[in-house]
Amino acid sequence: MADKLRTQQELERLQAKYIGTGHPDTTSWEWKTNIYRDTYSSLVGHPHMLSYISLAENEPTHIVRTRLIRKMLQPSGPPPARED
């Protein structure tokens, strides 16, 4: 029983520390937004990946970087309407 409680506490601690891990109340829109933002920030943060994308799209690197950063604002569209 103590192991189960310790595991649950560890999971809650990780979910509080890392927002992208989600929790039971996380909507699919929030989850998708976190995944997209993580992906875009990783691509912008790794120069070799950014160069690869810019070469594949035949665009300058600074334009691809700017486009990816702008996509991070609302990567999966506007949030759905909330039900109160």
* Residue 64 domain boundaries: 28-76
Q: Which residues contact residue 37 at a Cβ distance below 8 angstroms, ignoring those fewer than 6 apart?
A: 72, 75
How many domains are contained in the chain? 1
SS3 76: coil
User: Does 6 map to a domain?
Assistant: no
User: Does 8 map to a domain?
Assistant: no
Q: What is the pLDDT of residues 4-58, one digit of tens each?
A: 888 888 888 887 887 767 777 788 888 899 889 999 999 999 999 999 999 999 9
Distance CA 21, CA 41 (A): 16
CA distances, 14 to each of 9, 20, 38 (Å) = 9, 10, 17
User: Does 47 map to a domain?
Assistant: yes
Place of tokens 């909330």: 82
- pLDDT higher for 17 or 67? 67
Distance CA 83, CA 77 (A): 18
Q: So what's the pLDDT on residue 71?
A: 93
Q: So what's the pLDDT on residue 43?
A: 95
User: Does 70 map to a domain?
Assistant: yes
